[in-house]
A = this chain, B = another copy of it.
Amino acid sequence: MNDRTADENVPAGAESRPTLKTIAFMTGLGVTTVSRALKNAPDISADTKRRVQLVAKQVGYRPNRAGVRLRTGKTNVISLLLNTDEQLMGFISDIIYGVSRALRGTPYHIILTPYSGRDDPMDAVRYVVETQSADGIIISRTEPQDARVLYMLEHKFPFATHGRTDLGNAHPWHDFDNEVFAQLAVRRLARNGRKHLALLAPEPKLSYYRHMTDGFADGIAECGLTEIPFHNCWVDEPIDRIRDAAIELFKRPNRPDGVVCGSGASAMAVVNALEMCGMSLGKEIDVVTKQSTPLVQMFRPGLYVVEEDFRLAGRELANAVLGQIEGRPVSDLHSLSVPELVRDPTFAPADPPHKGG
């Protein structure tokens, strides 16, 4: 299938994809010169560069990725590590789009490296690092002492995390400020006169569990409220599981009159549950949640929502890894999204601006 007939080093007909050799032949220059001219090397005359670049453009030259990769080790690939077990993965597509948006116009491709929760998540990272199948990695579901992060730091492999770690700014990251989110949420409920609040938090091993519970606790203390524990259930669990757990919660004698939900989908399950228990939103209870699509707000007019923009997260993460690959200082490669409470467009009365607590 390979190995042509008898062309020695003279590209004959307009056959397959042009290579450096093609351009070298057309311009009468050496392959090396062409290579260097195309990357604007200083030891090539401006004239030659123009000529080579013109011809390259004309014939539609594109460097062969395998060739570059073999010779230089540069893959021009960013790997997105995905846990394929998560139930409510809608937002992953938004991250993907954000990443691809940031990578548009660069030579980078996005490759997906999925892992199942049954596997060790480390395997996926190790695979990419060991086989050098990418120049950088983006991970999510970050943990405070994330083994993947330690591994990549140790191997000096470029990466960015969605969510922070206990290592602070030692590596690039993007995060949504879940502490502020939870605090805003509690304040909103307090303003509605709610006293007994429950929090549907993420899985405790994840970094943002701490952020969210801290913000929640602060809000509770600040407003003089009490917390109703809701600790047998997390936002990433299957939707029916959450609903069932919420039904349990609402059947307890000390049921909450306000709930803060860490994700849009889980909020839907919670609302579903409370209605099945004969309560109704805005009456016996209020719910505040995050949303990443307007769907959540449409679910029930009485829901209070805070927008979390995952496309933005994707863009930030991509730029962060690229930044590290390019060797920019790590201190430039962090970003934190600050949440804002969105007024319910159809139901809730407008809040007076800038009045907290």
Contact = CB atoms under 8 A, between A and B. Distances in A.
Contact of A73 (B2, B71, B112): B2
Given A65-B133, A69-B66, A131-B17, A268 B97 contact: no
A293 B88 contact: yes
A96 interface: yes
A100 B112 contact: yes
A350 interface: no
A132 B63 CA distance: 12
Q: Say which size band chain A's interface belongs to.
A: 35 or more
Nearest to A130: B17
A206 interface: no
Interface stretch (A140-148, A214-222, A251-259, A294-302): A294-302
Nearest to A94: B89
Contacts of A193: none
A294 B112 contact: no
A207 interface: no
A351 interface: no
A239 B294 contact: yes
A192 interface: no
A114 B100 contact: yes
Given A88-B293, A346-B276, A97 B114 contact: yes
B112 A133 contact: no
A110 interface: yes
A68 to B, nearest CB: 8
A211 interface: no
A94 B86 CA distance: 10
A243 B72 contact: no
B243 A62 contact: no
A324 interface: no
Interface in A64-105: 64-67, 69-73, 75, 77, 82, 84, 88-90, 92-94, 96-97, 100-101, 104
A272 B293 contact: no
B72 A2 contact: yes
A109 interface: yes
Contacts of A109: 111-113, 133
24 contacts: A17-B131, A17-B132, A65-B131, A65-B133, A66-B69, A66-B75, A70-B70, A82-B96, A82-B100, A84-B100, A84-B101, A88-B293, A89-B90, A89-B93, A92-B93, A92-B96, A93-B93, A93-B96, A96-B96, A96-B114, A97-B114, A239-B293, A240-B294, A269-B298
Interface of A: 1-2, 17, 60, 62, 64-67, 69-73, 75, 77, 82, 84, 88-90, 92-94, 96-97, 100-101, 104, 109-114, 130-133, 239-240, 243, 265, 268-269, 272, 276, 293-295, 298-299, 346
Given A66-B75, A92-B93, 5 more contacts: A17-B131, A17-B132, A66-B70, A77-B111, A88-B295
